[in-house]
């Protein structure tokens, strides 16, 4: 369970990274829309695991690789934004969040199920 401090830092980093990906990194990633779904902070606030999802792209793994290659640049940009609020910028570990894909997959499986309707129950009750 995350402490209040971890939650505060993760929300702050999530907000700033989302803004960075939306505005400042167009030159690095082109027209790909990067969504920051979740940020998990280590207890000592030195490591941030960032779960991303991508829209308007054909290969998510290629985009994730581009982000991993540019991690130092992204961390520097994040540090410039947060230098007044955070003393040490955490190490950033980017991961692919496949929660949306998993939900779509489960939804497709459920929609393919052939579930027969429930048998009609006799609603008449005998009164004694």
If you write DSSP's letter for every residue of 22-51 in order, what string do you get? IIITHHHHTT-EEEEEEEEE-TTSSEEEEE
Residue 6 predicted with pLDDT over 60: yes
At residue 1, the 3 state secondary structure works out as: coil
Q: What is the pLDDT of residue 123?
A: 54
Q: pTM for the whole thing? A: 0.75
Could you tell me the pLDDT band of residue 59, with boundaries at 50, 70 and 90?
Answer: confident
Comparing 51 with 26, which gets the higher pLDDT? 51
Residue 125 predicted with pLDDT over 60: no
E-strand ranges in 42-110 read 47-55, 91-96
Residue 114 predicted with pLDDT over 70: yes
Q: What is the pLDDT of residue 91?
A: 95
Percentage of residues of the chain with pLDDT beyond 90: 38
Residue 108 predicted with pLDDT over 70: yes
- Would you state the torsion angle of the CA atoms of residues 41, 77, 37, 31, taken in this order, to the nearest 10 degrees? -160
Q: What is the pLDDT of residue 47?
A: 94
**Alpha carbon distance 28, 97 (integer Å):** 20
Rounded to an integer, the average pLDDT of 102-114 is 85
> CATH 3.30.300.20: does it fit domain 4-99?
yes
């Amino acid at each position: 369970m995350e402490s209040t401090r971890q939650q505060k830092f993760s929300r702050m980093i999530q907000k700033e990274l989302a803004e960075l990906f939306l505005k400042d990194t167009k030159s690095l990633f082109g027209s790909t829309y990067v969504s920051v779904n979740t940020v998990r902070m280590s207890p000592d606030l030195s490591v941030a695991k960032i779960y991303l999802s991508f829209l308007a792209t054909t290969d998510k793994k290629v985009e994730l690789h581009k982000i991993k290659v540019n991690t130092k640049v992204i961390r520097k940009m994040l540090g410039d934004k947060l230098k007044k609020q955070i003393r040490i910028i955490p190490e950033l570990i980017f991961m692919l969040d496949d929660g949306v894909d998993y939900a779509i997959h489960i939804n497709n499986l459920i929609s393919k199920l052939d579930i027969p309707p429930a048998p009609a129950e006799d609603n008449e009750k005998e009164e004694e």
